[in-house]
Structure 1
């Protein structure tokens, strides 16, 4: 489960915890950072994620992983990094978030989630941000 900073991280983490518990699977959570050397904020986020999965009573490995965001069409590059990480640790399912972008940003930056969906050899669950989630019918 790759996670980045931002409000979507908690929704992705909750979804992964629920799926891991339902299927009896351990989690491998990687916090994606755009600096080669993890700073205090990245380490704090990693520690918060570790505490959250620990409190959910599910086995998990939580790590930091550098991805280069400075590249043109960074989304596909990040997606490829996620696929390579998944292969390195032999995952059986990928859970990740997706935030809609405008057309210009989609064309210039690309979509990490779409790149993972296109290349993954395991099931992928994509968690949309709250703005993309339809309100429940009453």
Structure 2
């Protein structure tokens, strides 16, 4: 019964954190959330990385909740389901964190590249490229 209560408490905490991350309401701090250097560089990267991690963190919270409910009266082989759900919850949490950290690194690398190149890359006018390609394919009637 104690294990069930502990897992349900973890589930509530995890769901609250995931919801705040998804809504971009998770304040920047040292204790909760992703702790990689790229995430701390700006509020925009913090919010983007946590928003990417949030769906898997929600899945983790739901899995913790079901693990807690199934552990409430588990005996014997009945512990197999809570253990499997617990492993799924940990895997989802880790995958979300990895995905968020990867996103933060990618966004940071892109910003560094844009700063080195003097700003964001210019947009390409695809219609102009198509017209130029069509003009070059037309036979010259001179």
TM-score range, shorter chain: under 0.3
Bigger helix share: 2
Bigger strand share: 1
Q: Which has the larger radius of gyration?
A: 2
TM-score normalised according to structure 2 size = 0.24
TM-score normalised according to structure 1 size = 0.24
